[in-house]
Copies of this chain bind each other. A is one copy, B any other.
């Protein structure tokens, strides 16, 4: 593969080159990995600093409808929008969110938009790295807004929040008791809560739910990166395309303030450090899953199970003999 040519075409904003580059960073092949790293290094610092928006919400809350409506509104204003998905469950289920682009028919045909389904990887760590690298490639290709979608499952929300400039939680209108279904830790990560489906019969419930969440947000500890009024709860109707411009205005206002106060750059720096350290740990531990260490570990585990070696002695043996550590 001609990395120089690919670089030039990505920087020119060619969507097909971008798609090919993302396929390259998703590949598990060793030679592809080397090319991917070279490409990422080559495009680094070029392109635009996009606004990275993490978006989470449980199935049924209307994520696809929201992304389609919100994305089309942004492209209508001349902005280029990339949509990436993080779905840790896709490896198990075989399916993947955004795998079926027909769920976002209008946006997927939009020349200002780029939609990429979740890679089907088995490891959350691998998904994280590939998504981060896809974000870098989208920025190099000049996209203005990158929406990173995830389902509200397990640790994927934390992961997406750690690679986003702002984190949005999409919620359904609900009775008062159901508010507590949102874990406190997830609430604390959110910059904006969006109560969707504020339309038709559900409109009144959505408004009340939004007020309830606003009350819950006021009880959270104030964070330095929040201007007055944030984190904030808003209603929106993806179906009727109502409230979308307001959401974008709030996002821009929040981002402008954070840029001016230095929080924007500080967050990106902290995130970069976080991912560097996470990747080091992950790759160090990955050695244990590769031969010949894997085989040696299996053999020693057998001796430990049989009581021939204590766990500590076996660990010592593995580390000193097979991992060059004393």
Give A residues with C-beta under 8 Å from B. Answer: 37, 40-41, 44-45, 129, 132-133, 136, 269-270, 272-273, 275-277, 279-281, 283-285, 287-288, 297, 300-301, 304-307, 310-316, 318-319, 323-325
Contacts and interface: CB of A to CB of B under 8 A. Distances in A.
A284 B283 contact: no
Closest 7 CB pairs of A and B: A276-B311, A279-B315, A269-B305, A275-B311, A276-B304, A272-B304, A273-B301
24 contacts: A37-B313, A41-B313, A45-B307, A132-B312, A133-B312, A269-B305, A270-B305, A272-B304, A272-B305, A272-B307, A272-B310, A273-B311, A276-B300, A276-B301, A276-B314, A276-B315, A280-B288, A281-B285, A281-B288, A283-B315, A283-B319, A284-B284, A284-B287, A287-B325
Contacts of A281: 285, 288
Given A40-B313, A316-B37, A284 B129 contact: no
A312 B37 contact: yes
Contacts of A316: 37
A163 to B, nearest CB: 10
Contact of A129 (B45, B297, B306, B312): B312
Given A277-B297, A281-B285, A285-B281, A272 B37 contact: no
A310 B273 contact: no
Contact of A324 (B285, B297, B304, B324): B324
How many copies of the shown chain assemble into the complex? 2
Contacts of A269: 305-307
Contacts of A304: 272-273, 276
A313 B305 CA distance: 39
A318 to B, nearest CB: 6
A150 B49 CA distance: 50
Q: Which of A269, A270, A306 has the most CB of B within 10 A?
A: A269
Contacts of A273: 301, 304-305, 311
A280 B318 contact: yes
Nearest to A277: B301
Contacts of A318: 280
Pick from A280, A300, A323 the residue with the most CB of B within 10 Å: A280
A285 B40 CA distance: 27
A41 B316 CA distance: 12
A279 B40 contact: no
Given A40-B312, A276-B314, 18 more contacts: A40-B313, A41-B310, A44-B307, A132-B311, A269-B306, A272-B307, A272-B311, A273-B305, A273-B311, A276-B300, A277-B297, A277-B301, A279-B311, A279-B312, A280-B297, A280-B315, A281-B285, A284-B323
A96 to B, nearest CB: 23
Nearest to A315: B279
Contact of A310 (B40, B310, B313, B324): B40
